[in-house]
Structure 1
Amino acid sequence: MYKIILIHPSAGVNWQGNSENFAIELARCLDNYFEVELISGAECGSFSRPIPSITRNDVINWACYPLLNRLLHRWFPDPEIAIEHLTNFLPCISYLLKHPADLIFPQNGYGGLFVASCIRAIRGTPILLTEHNSLSKQSEYLRHNLTLKPDRLIVPNPAVARYVEHFAPHQPLSIIPHGINPTEFTPVGKAIVTGLPKPTILCVAPLQRASNSRIELAIRAVARLPQASLLICGEGEDRDYFQKLGDRLLGQDRFQINTFAYAQMPQVYRSADIFTLPSLEAFRGLAYIEAMACGLPVVATDDSVRRYLIGNSGITCNVTDIDIYAESLQIALEQNWLKQPPQHNALRFSWQEVALHYHKAVLQTILQPNQESKFMEIADS
């Protein structure tokens, strides 16, 4: 049986992060086929191997102190990522040298990929990389990762694949979208009691003005709908800013910001009537898939990635035009979605399907690490 080691030092620590939860679920699925270990920040399953490091959560907590926040951003453009990478580098290298694997599978971007590249230089261990940041920041992260030439790259949608084929035409890759558990994310079950009036519109995003989520657009659009309320689920350094904006435009009776554990998210989705996220870029698009799996239609930015993910289970529009955005939200609230339930579309992205394709990608990388580019689409565009 082949042994594979995944890397994500925030897994088990940050339960709000998409890539962290993805790493845990992927490790759990692949454990059915291989001997799997996940280098993590804390216990998160029988397969996890916690190592000491300063995690992104630790740095985010430090940033609450203004002086320390200024110092961190003076030294690093993304301090939470940089410090995590720096402090887990030697522990990861040491562990991987003492515990050889047939494949290294980093999930935390360039930091884990650099660790894997060092081990590959010493032992020849092939690298499989899931690209989580996709085309964010003008593809800066993606292009940075490609300089280290993983033996195979996993991208979440055809748009990212086309970019990689143009930028790095000899990079072996597979298209595998992110997965959800349809028995966990389902329309049937308990819902969180929010106290907000119906209909409720849900937005799940980090509370950071500098992020690509553009939460303020959702607040301004929902403010145009006098009968609707808005629930924002997330955390971040700009929570107070968004709280004041929402209270001013919608009023405290129609607006809430709450933070929930990831295990509660199915109940959170079930508490709402529609889901929206007006982000500039889709990144993984996991929140859209989770929302649809819980039966929510989606209103989102109009681009090829969102159209690929949402299909006929929502509306894509020009979210920067608040009138158009608000009108699209109203149409989604009024439309009868029973004829094309969003949860049916979400089944395209079930972990059962996704895991089979990851199994194939793992074997391809171990047995044929230099194979030319192949596309693997598991869902219709």
Structure 2
Amino acid sequence: MSTSFASPAAAPVGALPDAVTDLRPPPPGLADPGGSRGTRVLIASDTYPPDVNGAAYFTARLARGLVERGACVHVVCPSAEGPPRVVERDGVVEHRLRSVPSLAHESVRLALPPGVRGHLERLLDRLRPDAVHIQNHFVIGRILAPAARRRGVPVVATNHFMPENLFDYLRVPAPLRPHVARLAWWDLREVLSGVEHVTTPTPAAARLLRDQGFGRAVEAVSCGIDLARFRPFGGGAAERRRLRARLGVPDRRTLVFVGRLDEEKRTDELIRAVALTPDTQLVLAGHGSHRGRLEELAREEGVADRVLFLGFVAHADLPDVYRCADVFAIAGVAELQSIATLEAMASGLPVVAADAMALPHLVEEGRNGYLFPPGRPKEIAARVSDVLADEGRRARMGAHSRAMAERHRLEDSLERFEHIYLEAALGALSAAGRGRP
């Protein structure tokens, strides 16, 4: 599920405060979801804001959403600067572990394995969480999950991982990618085999895990979308012109993509499609390692004047990026859900998406948009042109996108995770009562 951070590719939710928090947890005790005490959850992730990707974005929204519903939430993740510290932001206590730059991506830091184990064990002993929720299986989750289970704390895992999303970062040669993928899937199965409950954002993502030999039950729980923040544009033509002018977007037919400008997003196909779509511009919100190549491609295709790179987008401005567009397009083939597509749908945009992985779950052909075969810019251009040709049909498609997005309310996802934690905690208590470790 991606991501400039406000989506998997826009601005950070907010800067970390300078103050260090006194971290004395309230008395332990399991409460019903929404109860006065709330469930205490320790969420672990190898990536967290200001990192720019869907897993980081989802984890931050989950943590803050649970706090707003009365839970006591701690997050353990790498430090954004290097030195360790403990801070509180929006009610979420962040335990930032000592980190070093990763060799895979300039904006991602990794927790240093030496010392992590002892730190996590002390954290578990002090917090005594009702449940642990790991978001990744790389470093922190790999160490935390067995440590929690040794203490009788149930572990929930959400999978955001596909090997394809790491190939470019790790510079894996094409001939080796199938072998690296098999090894990566084996490693994920090993780490997640001992957890109590596994979720992933969509049925397609759950099916992918099963296809890769994961024998456990996997529940699809949507990442969810804030329907109040992302909503359709309500103004007229003059207001849209003002909105576009504020963002530096020319007032003409607009195709938008929000996300990282990296290899697996295949944004080059959108640029080639715009070259085949007269009187239409492409707005790209986000940054990534391929931006320079994409700028060169736009020049080669003769559309440098019709491809606008917004780069980093402030969190407060992201909804307006969608509202200044006519159509949203996404060409990636490794999307486990695509939060950006959900944001576009909630904003009332028709969607033109690759017929790959989980994206077909977000497109009802001819009703809220169209699918296209991956790697076919001519097909993208034809579908975009079809949407743009009829303003009335475009409005109907946008309204249907909004209706589909309403099936992915963030509140529903938060409620489901609360119940998953409760069920896992009660199961752990029952097992302890029977004398099982």
Fold equivalence (TM over 0.5): yes
Partner AA of 1:198 in structure 2: R
Is 1:196 the counterpart of 2:250 in the alignment?
yes
For residues 184-242 of structure 1, the C-alpha deviation after alignment (integer angstroms, 9 at most, x for no partner) is 0111476652333411111123223xx31111111101111120111111212232221
**Given the superposition, is the C-alpha separation of residues 264 and 273 from structure 1 closer, same or farther in structure 2, using an over 3 Å criterion?**
same
Which residue of structure 1 aligns with residue 133 of structure 2? Answer: 105
C-alpha separation in 1, matches of 2:258 and 2:162: 19
> What pairs with 1:199-238 in structure 2 (closer than 5 Å)?
199-208=253-262, 211-238=263-290
Which residue of structure 2 aligns with residue 337 of structure 1? Answer: 394
Which residue of structure 2 aligns with residue 374 of structure 1? Answer: none
Deviates more, 1:94-103 or 1:171-180: 94-103
Which residue of structure 2 aligns with residue 69 of structure 1? Answer: none
- Which of 37, 54, 58 is the matching residue for 2:74? 37
**Given the superposition, is the C-alpha separation of residues 358 and 134 from structure 1 closer, same or farther in structure 2, using an over 3 Å criterion?**
farther
C-alpha separation in 1, matches of 2:184 and 2:230: 30
C-alpha separation in 2, matches of 1:256 and 1:140: 39
Which residue of structure 2 aligns with residue 163 of structure 1? Answer: 208
For residues 104-128 of structure 1, the C-alpha deviation after alignment (integer angstroms, 9 at most, x for no partner) is 1122443232122232253132111
**Given the superposition, is the C-alpha separation of residues 101 and 142 from structure 1 closer, same or farther in structure 2, using an over 3 Å criterion?**
farther
2:199–2:221 CA contact under 8 A, matched in 1? yes
Aligned residues: 350
- Which of 331, 338, 343 is the matching residue for 1:278? 331
C-alpha separation in 1, matches of 2:212 and 2:345: 32
Deviates more, 1:83-92 or 1:230-239: 83-92
Which residue of structure 2 aligns with residue 151 of structure 1? Answer: 196
C-alpha separation in 2, matches of 1:187 and 1:142: 39
Which residue of structure 1 aligns with residue 63 of structure 2? Answer: 27
- Which of 131, 148, 160 is the matching residue for 1:120? 148
C-alpha separation in 2, matches of 1:179 and 1:230: 26
**Given the superposition, is the C-alpha separation of residues 29 and 195 from structure 1 closer, same or farther in structure 2, using an over 3 Å criterion?**
closer
- Which of 268, 293, 317 is the matching residue for 1:241? 293
C-alpha separation in 2, matches of 1:326 and 1:272: 16
1:133–1:141 CA contact under 8 A, matched in 2? no
User: 5+ residue gaps in structure 2?
Assistant: 1-30, 32-38, 80-86, 166-180, 235-242, 431-437
The secondary structure found in structure 2 opposite 1:110 is coil
Under a length normalisation based on structure 1, what TM-score does the superposition of the two structures give?
0.82
The secondary structure found in structure 2 opposite 1:225 is coil
Partner AA of 2:54 in structure 1: N
The one of the two structures with greater contact order (alpha-carbon pairs below 8 A, sep at least 6) is 2
1:52–1:88 CA contact under 8 A, matched in 2? no
For residues 111-159 of structure 1, the C-alpha deviation after alignment (integer angstroms, 9 at most, x for no partner) is 2321222322531321111111257465765543221222211111112
Which residue of structure 2 aligns with residue 64 of structure 1? Answer: none
C-alpha separation in 2, matches of 1:220 and 1:87: 47
Partner AA of 1:238 in structure 2: H
Which residue of structure 1 aligns with residue 379 of structure 2? Answer: 324
Partner AA of 1:202 in structure 2: V
For residues 312-334 of structure 1, the C-alpha deviation after alignment (integer angstroms, 9 at most, x for no partner) is 32110113122212101111222
C-alpha separation in 2, matches of 1:165 and 1:369: 25
C-alpha separation in 2, matches of 1:54 and 1:212: 26
CA shift for structure 1 position 353: 1.7
2:205–2:336 CA contact under 8 A, matched in 1? no
1:128–1:362 CA contact under 8 A, matched in 2? yes
C-alpha separation in 2, matches of 1:307 and 1:45: 35
**Given the superposition, is the C-alpha separation of residues 153 and 88 from structure 1 closer, same or farther in structure 2, using an over 3 Å criterion?**
farther
CA shift for structure 1 position 170: 4.2
C-alpha separation in 2, matches of 1:171 and 1:82: 31
> What pairs with 1:258-273 in structure 2 (closer than 5 Å)?
258=310, 259-273=312-326
Which residue of structure 2 aligns with residue 185 of structure 1? Answer: 230
Is 1:366 the counterpart of 2:425 in the alignment?
yes
1:9–1:88 CA contact under 8 A, matched in 2? no
For residues 64-93 of structure 1, the C-alpha deviation after alignment (integer angstroms, 9 at most, x for no partner) is xxxxxxxx4xxxx67876834647835444
CA shift for structure 1 position 36: 1.9
Is 1:305 the counterpart of 2:358 in the alignment?
yes
1:132–1:284 CA contact under 8 A, matched in 2? no
CA shift for structure 1 position 30: 2.1
Task: Say which one has the larger Rg.
Answer: 2
